[in-house]
Structure 1
Amino acid sequence: MHEIVTLQLGQRANYLATHFWNLQESYFTYQEGEESPVDHDVHFRPGVGADGSETYTPRTVIYDLKGGFGTLRQSNALYELSEDFNPGQGLWDGREVIQQQPAIPQSDYQKSLDAGLPAPQLTSETVRYWSDYNRLFYHPRSIVQLNDYELNSRTMPFEDWEMGEELFNNLDKEHDLLDRDVRTFAEECDQLRALQIFTNADDAWGGFAARYMDRLRDEYGKKNIWVWAIESGSKVQRHQQIKRDMNKARSIYAISPQSSFYTPIIDPPHRLPNTFNVDFRSEWQTSALISSAMETVTLPSRLRPYCDFESSLAGDDGIHKIFELQSTILTDNEAQHSTKPTNGAEPSEDESSQVKTEFDVDFSYDSRYSNKSHIFNQVQVSRGIDPEQKENDGPPTEDIDLGMRRRLRLHNSQPMFQSFHTPLRFPILDSFPRNMFPVSDANAGIQVLSSLTASSRTGERIKAMEAVASRIISIDERESIVNGLGEIRESYETGWMSDSDFDDE
């Protein structure tokens, strides 16, 4: 097996990750002899519940501030009898005085799930927390509430990057977070494939994630680490926007060089087609839109048979680690002509003309592609193609040695390109907003084309960050951050070559 352990850091990250887990749960099959195309062992772990029954829960650690979990409890129907998480009396033998905050009332959606009844339709008004539309049980060790800060606090908001650094350092010194929270899940794996991190990048969670990344790299030096770095796309006052920009610059400087891929995600994206119906004020809706692209583009990593998704992201040189996330919702006619369909998740390497630059939604950058943008690497994943169409396709192209392909691409200055196709459509669950996409029958699922692209636009964005950092960041760290961003930017400028490229020659 090739397992993936997930870390969720912060409120916006948990909104997105909850959609991700709901989708993974929907791929389970319960009919005898029916096998899901998704290998659930990649993201789920077997266990034993409090009553001795077998359980299957996500390999994830969920961090949030006090008040951020809503109605989600650490104990649940699977583990509520467990004594492992009962703190007990301890050394104190005196009288205890227990003070409790008023319990948050459970949503009608959660009540219906608990009762096994049809769930009511969710709306932006009925979703108060990410746990309101959660469909899974988690292992008690997955729930980690950080009581040092409170969600949406006005007196001490969790916004400054340094606050996240300080919080991690204090907690790690006291508990050794890696040993307490991650190691158990990692050691259960037969062959740990990657660590996946959902995190906010433009507030204090960016600092928390950066220090967590340092510890993960020390412990799992050769493992892949995937980072989904979520940035707020809402408009705020100028001084708040400056703080966000500084936090984003620090996150890219500290996290992206240590990650296997780092994908900035604007939540919500700034441009959407008029045919999309999204409430930008609802994190439930905007994170659902993001999940349609994010879950699609990573689908090959958990499909049967095993796909070496990581080598596609590494490209020819492994230098470009910052990717742009884009997606297009396909109609039936567009799906038939956009890509060559295959049955299953079979990779294909085609001519550079297959590289796509126009998508319905760009989740990473505000600027559109220009003719001057150069693409270094692109991985496309399309889903929802009818597998029966494969019979009408021509014979497969002649396979060429991968080393020869690489030399041809370098000689012709062509981008690295790889595509994956699967007939598995993106399901519209009852936890997902209805009527978000322009499709005739949402119950049948939707066809999505999603991509991760490394291009010269990243260099342009980091150049703008350098300018902000040189003016605003304090002098004691300004030089290191500006120089570090400059080194990252250079690798996304066309015509730049690393020392390894010369060595290859």
Structure 2
Amino acid sequence: MREVVTVQLGGFANYVGSHFWNFQDEALGADEDGLVGLDMNVLYRVGETRQGIGTYTPRLLAFDLRGSLGAVRAAGSLYERSPQFESSAVATWNGQTVTHRHEPIPKNDFLKSLDEESEGWSQPSVSGSGFQLTNVADTTHSGNSVPSEETRESSFVQSLDDSVEYWTDYLKAHLHPRSVYELPNTFHGLTPFDNYSSGQGFFKEQEQLEEVENRLRFFVEECDHLQGFQFMVDNSGGFAAVAADFLEAVGDEYNRTPKLLFSLRPPWIPPKVSHRDAIVASLHESVSLARLSSLSNLLVPAGLQQLASSKFARHLCVNDSKLFCTSAVYATALNTITLPFRMEVSGPTATSQERGFGSSDMSNMVRLVSCSQQKKVALLEAAVPGPALPVAGTPGSFDLASLSSLTPDVDHSYTGTQAAEALVIQGARLPGGGGSASVAQVLECTFTGKPAVRRGALSLCQLSVSPNPLPIPVPFPSIFGPYVSARGDILPNPIASTAGRGGLDVLSIPIAARVTSTDSLLPYVKGRLTSFRKLGLSRASVGGGVLEDWGFAKEEAQDLAEGLGNLASAYSDRRFDSATDSD
């Protein structure tokens, strides 16, 4: 067993996580036929209620503000309510209090349908969630036909695009009572949580620290062979500090366990703010990068300022203002790039190869991409849907140039050294709607590809291939454009005039994703170093006062600058001395 424990911190990270676990729910249903070549026990744990009913829940610890779960209880619905599983309320205040009370939030139609599906569920199978709202494939489907909505599950799914307000509104997975930790003395929509300082100090109280440590230990201690932690962190506000404090608190106990961290943030339009607010936002970016990169083995930033207008979204219809939509995009990339961790080990036979190639342990992937910890920040690129293979009989290779960055502030024209990459190709298609490509066909097109399809000199590459495309769950936003077919082929003519197509229209899609330790990341890291030097190192400046208010003494600020300088030096031949400001 090669278990992975997932930790989600913050609103947007949990939005991404809900889509991620919905993908796993689809894989669980397909895995009952033994065809997907995945070991779902990597991410899931087997349990049992007090009534002896078997459960199968994600090995997950999710942090958020109180009141951020909508109509869903933090303790979940699999087990009866138990006070020991609720987040503790530590009494630290003896003065006057203000109580904010509101009526319980009603469940939306989708959640009600899940309850109806699970009624009478007395002995769920350990290999699934107990219910599936999967889309039904039309076996006679051709490239330009649209599966009839009459064969689909309920029409309420269409309303999710405009009605989702919480990340639990579309989550299909049952969560364990220990999974959700709501930060004490906070409340969603009332507690300011928009910068680094707002998330500091939540684990200073010993009781709170012990509670989160015990929750994490609960999932870790039942693992046979823990291959690592995958973190999804909302870096748009205070949860960057919560994540750093949490990693620091548990670091000694799990210092040898690999930690792969995805630093996420939704698209945003910079508002008109005061000079001080702009400084606070800039320092937030620098401090979070310095601390999170030092406490993880590999940090992968993902969060374009404008996703809808980016090159990445050329086949998508994304509304940047809707977290339900934008989080789905990032979840598809994260699901694919982490696929090797749960792929079954390939055997020597053709049959086993057709189930997948290139399974990998998290430790091996992290060590390779980070160049043995020399480059601790990696670029995330993906193509959704992924490109088709070249036409048979014509020279060419798998179109890696179609992959676009989800990491902001990178210089794609940079021609420096690209030290290493982990490339995952999932469910590649044959050209012209010719069906699914085999693993052998993908390997031939990839390994014989011309060097020109890669930027810079590539020294190491880990390739993983799965013949199975990504199944699209029914509760998925309508983000696919009219040129995307039901099987993820890119059509020459639009299939419909609608603004977007979702889980009712698109059954599955091919995806290609990679993480690379390319020197194109130098502008991303150097920009935050330069900003920190100019704004934060002088105590006479506004930024210096901000850092002091955040609890960083002058020596600690110098340490942060030195850490950023070391990061920048790893992507350049030049040494970035933290004591200078010659940029």
Shared fold per TM-score greater than 0.5: yes
Of 168, 173, 178 in structure 2, the residue corresponding to residue 131 of structure 1 is 168
Percent identity between the aligned chains? Answer: 24
Contact 1:178 1:215 (C-alpha < 8 Å) held by counterparts: no
Shift of 1:42: 0.5
Matched residue, 1:329: 384
Of 307, 311, 331 in structure 1, the residue corresponding to residue 364 of structure 2 is 311
Pairing 1:188–2:222 present: yes
Distance 1:32 1:200 in 2: 34
Shift of 1:10: 0.7
More moved, 321-330 vs 359-368:
359-368
Matched residue, 2:178: 141
Matched residue, 1:465: 528
Of 543, 546, 563 in structure 2, the residue corresponding to residue 484 of structure 1 is 563
Gaps spanning 5+ residues in structure 1: where? 89-97, 340-352, 399-411, 497-505
Shift of 1:359: 3.8
Distance 1:241 1:357 in 2: 37
More moved, 130-139 vs 74-83:
74-83
Matched residue, 1:372: 415
Pairing 1:105–2:160 present: no
Contact 1:202 1:244 (C-alpha < 8 Å) held by counterparts: no
User: What are the residue-to-residue correspondences of 1:31-46 with 2, within 5 Å?
Assistant: 34=34, 36-46=36-46
Pairing 1:163–2:206 present: no
More moved, 461-470 vs 77-86:
77-86
Deviations 1:155-198 (A, max 9, x none): x411231332212323x454414432201110011111111111
Shift of 1:85: 4.3
Residue 275 of structure 1 aligns with an amino acid whose one-letter code is H
Matched residue, 1:415: 459
Pairing 1:8–2:8 present: yes
More moved, 54-63 vs 174-183:
174-183
Shift of 1:21: 0.7
Query: How has the CA–CA distance of structure 1 residues 103 and 261 changed in structure 2, closer, same or farther, with 3 Å as cutoff?
Result: same
Matched residue, 1:55: 55
Residue 176 of structure 1 aligns with an amino acid whose one-letter code is E
Of 264, 271, 282 in structure 2, the residue corresponding to residue 245 of structure 1 is 282
Alignment coverage as a number of residue pairs: 457
Distance 1:53 1:378 in 2: 44
Shift of 1:80: 2.3
Distance 1:232 1:482 in 2: 26
Pairing 1:115–2:108 present: no
Distance 2:288 2:100 in 1: 38
Deviations 1:210-238 (A, max 9, x none): 11111222111110011111134301234
Q: TM-score, normalised by structure 1?
A: 0.82
Of 302, 307, 312 in structure 1, the residue corresponding to residue 342 of structure 2 is 302
Residue 428 of structure 1 aligns with an amino acid whose one-letter code is I
Matched residue, 1:384: 427
Deviations 1:245-289 (A, max 9, x none): 211211111111231210111156541444310111100100001
Distance 2:32 2:208 in 1: 48
Matched residue, 2:231: 197
Distance 1:338 1:142 in 2: 47
Query: How has the CA–CA distance of structure 1 residues 145 and 259 changed in structure 2, closer, same or farther, with 3 Å as cutoff?
Result: same
Shift of 1:459: 2.1
Deviations 1:447-501 (A, max 9, x none): 11111111112222221112211232254243222222101110111488xxxxx
Contact 1:374 1:494 (C-alpha < 8 Å) held by counterparts: no
Residue 324 of structure 1 aligns with an amino acid whose one-letter code is L
Residue 44 of structure 1 aligns with an amino acid whose one-letter code is Y
Distance 1:195 1:465 in 2: 26
Contact 2:192 2:198 (C-alpha < 8 Å) held by counterparts: no
Query: How has the CA–CA distance of structure 1 residues 395 and 242 changed in structure 2, closer, same or farther, with 3 Å as cutoff?
Result: closer
Distance 2:62 2:362 in 1: 25
Distance 2:574 2:458 in 1: 12
Shift of 1:330: 4.5
> For 2:563, what is the secondary structure of its paired residue?
helix
Residue 361 of structure 1 aligns with an amino acid whose one-letter code is S
Matched residue, 2:551: none
Deviations 1:276-325 (A, max 9, x none): 10111100100001111111111111111252353233225442221111
Of 307, 320, 331 in structure 1, the residue corresponding to residue 375 of structure 2 is 320
Shift of 1:31: 8.4
Deviations 1:105-131 (A, max 9, x none): 111111111112834224332111111
Residue 203 of structure 1 aligns with an amino acid whose one-letter code is G
Query: How has the CA–CA distance of structure 1 residues 371 and 25 changed in structure 2, closer, same or farther, with 3 Å as cutoff?
Result: same
Query: How has the CA–CA distance of structure 1 residues 487 and 36 changed in structure 2, closer, same or farther, with 3 Å as cutoff?
Result: same
Of 485, 491, 497 in structure 2, the residue corresponding to residue 440 of structure 1 is 485
Residue 79 of structure 2 aligns with an amino acid whose one-letter code is Y
Residue 329 of structure 2 aligns with an amino acid whose one-letter code is L
Q: TM-score, normalised by structure 2?
A: 0.71
Shift of 1:371: 4.1
Matched residue, 1:275: 315
Distance 2:213 2:100 in 1: 31
Residue 106 of structure 1 aligns with an amino acid whose one-letter code is K
Contact 1:50 1:82 (C-alpha < 8 Å) held by counterparts: no
More moved, 441-450 vs 231-240:
231-240
Query: How has the CA–CA distance of structure 1 residues 204 and 431 changed in structure 2, closer, same or farther, with 3 Å as cutoff?
Result: same
Matched residue, 1:209: 243
Distance 1:86 1:489 in 2: 43
Distance 1:461 1:367 in 2: 6
User: What are the residue-to-residue correspondences of 1:338-357 with 2, within 5 Å?
Assistant: none
More moved, 221-230 vs 141-150:
141-150
Distance 2:558 2:376 in 1: 23
Shift of 1:396: 11
Contact 2:398 2:446 (C-alpha < 8 Å) held by counterparts: no
Pairing 1:358–2:358 present: no
Residue 472 of structure 1 aligns with an amino acid whose one-letter code is L
Contact 1:230 1:267 (C-alpha < 8 Å) held by counterparts: no
> For 2:265, what is the secondary structure of its paired residue?
strand
Distance 2:109 2:447 in 1: 54
> For 1:149, what is the secondary structure of its paired residue?
coil
Shift of 1:382: 0.6
Distance 2:222 2:326 in 1: 34
> For 2:246, what is the secondary structure of its paired residue?
helix
> For 1:376, what is the secondary structure of its paired residue?
strand
